[in-house]
Amino acid sequence: MNNPNPGCEEDVVIRTQIHLIRNLTDVPFCAKMSRADRQKLSERVVEAFSGNETLSHLFQFTDMESLSRVEAVSLVERHLVSADFISDRRGRGFFVNADETVSIMVNEEDHIHLQSSEAGLNPQKAFATADGLDDILDKCLGFAFDENLGYLTQNPVNLGTGMRASLMLHLPALREGGGISRISANLSKLGLALRGTFGSGVEPKGAVYQLSNRVTFGLSEQEAIANLQSIAMQLIEQERAARKELAESLEIQDTVSRSLAILQSAKMMANEEFMQLISNVRFGVATGLVDPIDYGEINRLMVLVQPATLTFYSGKKLTPAERRSLRAEKIRDFLKKGKYLWPN
Amino acid sequence: MLCDSCGKNPVTTHIKTIINGELTEYSLCAECAQRLGYGNLLTGLGCDYGSLLGGFFGGTELDDPVRCKCCGSTFDDIMRSGQVGCAQCYHTFYDRLIPLIQRIHGNTRHRGKVPGGGALQSRPQEQLSLMRRELREAIDAENFEHAASLRDRIKELEGGKVHE
């Protein structure tokens, strides 16, 4: 098995994300806020950031109302904000750091929704970042908290730690074997959720899944993370065993080789076709059927050739045909160099 | 409105997502939401706030005049929307929310991070003075049941059984 970064399990885990949900004590929760209330809160948070040397240095604020539709969708494709957040942009804004590993949504479902990401399996590091930032923001803004109930949230389901830890997993072999729905049902009993990625149609498409904790109350952040990590390790081992078996099949080897060949030579590439083919190639890299390509670079490619992000970085309006042609060009270039160099 | 996935059951959950560069919304029933990993602890209980409310009060409309001083919510508003109005609501409607929270999360208490600064509500003294004021109001309104349980909680806090 090809795994250059031991410990991060990057052959299976694409990324770790820690979310912290927080609210202020003296302002109604988001559903009760008028647009003016949202605006005021947003200004208050901006003020807190600019009044703190560390924060003002690290983060840049964007008013969601100032963005084009393409820019807003690209933020979701880049995992910086949620789809819900861009569905109504009035009075909403977000902060992001330079390498786009930490973002803070203001006025999503709760006043503050903080996200910290790390490549591969690294919940401890992602949590440490989120936790430190939470402390600084709490000093500036004062978060609503109760001894018994923990952090107070708009939806009582999120009470307690207000923390979701999620892992983005690449599970092509378990999916091929048809075991995902059984696994998902078992995980649900353990207080975890396994989500597929929607395609065109409600049933999940592709082999990328999100595993996250559902329990926020009655256990500590560290316990929730340890629980997630131990379940993830079991899933990772199951996926690897299934991959090993699959990789011996000539049909699968053929699928992987053809997928790579199409990506290397296609002149036009639709997004859904790309996601399927790159999934096959990633599987090929992990099982040694394809020469090594850096997992982090594959992950970047998977994000940066998404429709809105590709259009946004091209700096002009693209027709669907132009977009497919540009995507194919960027993929060919990536496979030649083994790196994604656009935009620099 | 029927579920986008199975086409059979009524919708309880709306999921927004980005599909090929477009913002798309799927409407799912509780069962399909659970199956696709979008269930939360409420769908896990096989119920929503409406049925939780029904479970507690026999489905009758509550006609409670008490409003939260910070956001104006009544307990009815919270039950109808499934959303708490503000941080203060948790104190105003504490006794009525606790059974609900226990139904969702089990009979437990917060075991995670305790903020180091700024969180006014976490200060036992702050909490005590808020509760004493609430107790006075409950007595004035002759809401003796609520007053009794407040008095017990104040005693517990004053007895030093406060989490460090």
Give residue B126's pLDDT band: very low, low, confident or very high (50, 70, 90).
low
Q: Are the beta carbons of A280 and A322 closer than 8 angstroms?
A: no
Which tokens go with A343? 């935009």
pLDDT digits (tens, 9 = 90+) for A224-234: 999 999 999 99
Number of H helices, E strands in chain B: 8, 2
Mean pLDDT across the stretch A292-310? 95
Phi, psi values for residue A102, rounded to 5°: -130, 130
> Which residue bears the tokens 């139904």?
B103
Mean pLDDT across the stretch A310-322? 96
Distance CA(A304)–CA(A285), nearest Å, equals 20
Shortest Cα distance, chain B CAs vs residue A317, angstroms: 13
Which tokens go with A211? 């595993």
Q: Are the beta carbons of B15 and B25 closer than 8 angstroms?
A: yes
Give residue B121's pLDDT band: very low, low, confident or very high (50, 70, 90).
very low
Alpha carbon A36 to chain centroid, angstroms: 30
Q: What mean pLDDT is reported for chain B? A: 77
Residues 277-316 of A with CB under 8 A from B: 306-308, 311
The predicted pLDDT at position B42 comes to: 63
The yes-or-no verdict on residue A151 having pLDDT over 70 is yes
Q: Which residues of A fall within a CB distance of 8 Å from B26?
A: 198, 202
Give residue A128's pLDDT band: very low, low, confident or very high (50, 70, 90).
very high
Parallel, antiparallel or unpaired: strands A102-106 and A150-151: unpaired
Q: Report the residue of B8, B18, B79 to disrupt the A interface, i.e. the one with the largest count of A CBs within 10 Å.
A: B18
Q: Which residues of B fall within a CB distance of 8 Å from A199?
A: 19
If one compares A151 and B35, the residue with the highest pLDDT of the two is A151
pTM equals 0.86
Residue B122 is nearest to which of A23, A147, A210, comparing CB atoms?
A147
What sign for the dihedral angle of Cα A102, A106, A108, A110?
positive
Distance CA(B88)–CA(A245), nearest Å, equals 57
Percentage of the residues of chain A whose pLDDT score is greater than 70: 97
Q: How far is CA A14 from CA A175, A207, A247, A320, in A?
A: 16, 12, 20, 28
If one compares B13 and B42, the residue with the highest pLDDT of the two is B13
Q: Which of A109, A91, A36, A77 is closest to A302 using CA atoms?
A: A77
The predicted pLDDT at position B62 comes to: 55
Residues 72-131 of A with CB under 8 A from B: 73, 76-77, 82-84, 86-87, 131
Q: Which of A259, A176, A252, A170 is closest to A207 using CA atoms?
A: A170
Distance CA(B4)–CA(B7), nearest Å, equals 6
Full DSSP string of A36-94: HHHHHHHHHHHHHHHTSHHHHHHEEEEEGGGS-HHHHHHHHHTTSS-HHHHHS-TT-EE
Give residue B55's pLDDT band: very low, low, confident or very high (50, 70, 90).
very low
Distance CA(A240)–CA(A232), nearest Å, equals 12
Distance CA(A332)–CA(A176), nearest Å, equals 27
Q: Are the beta carbons of A174 and A242 closer than 8 angstroms?
A: yes
Radius of gyration of chain A (CA): 21
Q: Which of A128, A129, A131 is closest to A143 using CA atoms?
A: A131
Alpha carbon B14 to chain centroid, angstroms: 20
The predicted pLDDT at position A117 comes to: 98
Estimate the crossing angle of helix A307-314 against helix A295-304, to 10 degrees: 80
DSSP A324: H
Q: Does A190 touch chain B (CB under 8 A)?
A: no
Question: Given an 8 Å threshold on Cβ–Cβ distance, is B105 in contact with A202?
Answer: no
Which tokens go with B148? 């009794």
Q: Which residues pair with B24 in a beta bridge?
A: B17
Question: Given an 8 Å threshold on Cβ–Cβ distance, is B112 in contact with A163?
Answer: yes
Shortest Cα distance, chain A CAs vs residue B136, angstroms: 21
Q: Are the beta carbons of A157 and B42 closer than 8 angstroms?
A: yes
